[in-house]
């Protein structure tokens, strides 16, 4: 007969088997409201620099070089995003009256000061996105090396005149130490955990702002091989659902839109992005907001 103690796990927790934060379902929390509308539309643009030699330790970043060195085809395709695609995004956002977050590698801020200045002049937020696309994190990296990567990113962005409030890991990958190291380095929020549709707080004080990857242009267009119009329709469908849910529950919702300049910024796709922004801007439920503004609204009501 099986010993009952065999089935006992002393670290069992409500929700997940950890004590990083208090687990709760969305409907169990006090309702949130936004300064405008009922659905916060959070656009997050990845500004990335891919070294032509990828590093496979701890792992190769998604979108990195693929073919034999030198991989000029993928290297220049990625550079297209910063030379052309990102500027199309800035124009589209300005036309729609939308502000966004730009998750920026330190190497992009250093190499492309005119692009960084245009992002800031447009009223957009810059969040930290590692040093470059070789700056990946997982548990094999080691705590000291990870601390050095996080602080180097912060310091190099600061040298470019940016004090980022938020952090987005490459591929949303963390180690067991990342949350504590981000707080130690002075970050207020991170975007890596995708298990919710509203912000929530870790016990160490860090706020998680979930940047869902299922509706990103990389996932729908590059991985699933869908069209730009199909991507845009998926986001409109998501907005419709969230707006109806917000009205039914009297609780605000959030729609994250993660986009990549070398994917959605191409001339045969950018129009779909512009049409999406125009349609969302026409909706009374829509509040275009960068990540920091959404976190501010959450913190203000959290203290009530």
At 286, which CATH number? 3.20.20.370
CA distance 173 to 203: 20
- 15 backbone φψ class: left, alpha, beta (φ>0; ψ -120 to 50): left
Q: Examine residue 192 and state whether it is found in any structural domain, yes or no.
A: yes
Q: Examine residue 7 and state whether it is found in any structural domain, yes or no.
A: no
Identify the bridge partners of residue 189 per DSSP, sorted by sequence position.
166, 207
Question: Based on the structure, what is the number of domains in the chain?
Answer: 1
State pTM to two decimals.
0.95
Q: Examine residue 10 and state whether it is found in any structural domain, yes or no.
A: no
Q: Examine residue 2 and state whether it is found in any structural domain, yes or no.
A: no
Q: Examine residue 13 and state whether it is found in any structural domain, yes or no.
A: no
Residue 294 contacts by C-beta under 8 Å, 6 or more apart in sequence?
34, 40, 42, 199, 209, 254
Per-position pLDDT tens, the chain of length 304:
778 877 788 888 888 888 899 999 999 999 999 999 999 999 999 999 999 999 999 999 999 999 999 999 999 999 999 999 999 999 999 999 999 999 999 999 999 999 999 999 999 999 999 999 999 999 999 999 999 999 999 999 999 999 999 999 999 999 999 999 999 999 999 999 999 999 999 999 999 999 999 999 999 999 999 999 999 999 999 999 999 999 999 999 999 999 999 999 999 999 999 999 999 999 999 999 999 999 999 999 997 7
Residue 238 contacts by C-beta under 8 Å, 6 or more apart in sequence?
215, 255
Q: Examine residue 8 and state whether it is found in any structural domain, yes or no.
A: no
Q: Examine residue 173 and state whether it is found in any structural domain, yes or no.
A: yes
CA distance 233 to 279: 11
Residue ranges making up the domain that contains 273: 33-302
3-state secondary structure (DSSP) of residue 128 = strand
């Amino acid at each position: 007969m099986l010993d009952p103690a065999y089935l006992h796990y002393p670290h069992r927790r409500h929700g997940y088997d950890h004590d990083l934060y208090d687990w709760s379902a969305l409907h169990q929390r006090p309702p949130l409201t936004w300064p405008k509308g009922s659905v916060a539309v959070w656009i997050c643009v990845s500004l990335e620099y891919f070294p032509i030699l990828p590093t496979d330790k701890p792992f190769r970043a998604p979108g990195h070089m693929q073919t034999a060195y030198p991989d000029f085809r993928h290297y220049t395709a990625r550079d297209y995003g910063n030379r052309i695609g990102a500027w199309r995004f800035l124009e589209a956002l300005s036309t729609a009256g939308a502000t966004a977050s730009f998750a920026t590698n330190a190497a992009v801020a250093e190499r492309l000061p005119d692009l960084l200045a245009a992002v800031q002049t447009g009223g957009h937020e810059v969040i930290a996105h590692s040093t470059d696309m070789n700056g990946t994190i997982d548990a094999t990296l080691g705590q000291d090396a990870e601390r050095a990567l996080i602080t180097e990113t912060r310091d190099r962005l600061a040298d470019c005149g940016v004090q980022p409030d938020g952090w987005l890991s490459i591929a949303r990958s963390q180690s067991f130490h990342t949350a504590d190291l981000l707080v130690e380095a002075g970050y207020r929020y991170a975007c890596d955990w995708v298990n919710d549709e509203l912000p929530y707080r870790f016990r160490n004080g860090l706020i998680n702002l979930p940047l869902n990857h299922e509706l990103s242009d990389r996932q729908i267009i590059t991985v699933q091989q869908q069209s730009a119009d199909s991507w845009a329709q998926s986001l409109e469908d998501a907005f419709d659902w969230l707006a109806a849910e917000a009205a039914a529950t009297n609780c605000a919702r959030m729609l994250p839109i993660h986009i990549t300049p070398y994917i959605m910024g191409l001339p045969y796709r950018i129009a779909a992005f512009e049409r999406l922004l125009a349609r969302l801007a026409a909706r009374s439920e829509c509040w275009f907001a960068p990540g920091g503004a959404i976190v501010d609204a959450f913190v203000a009501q959290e203290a009530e």
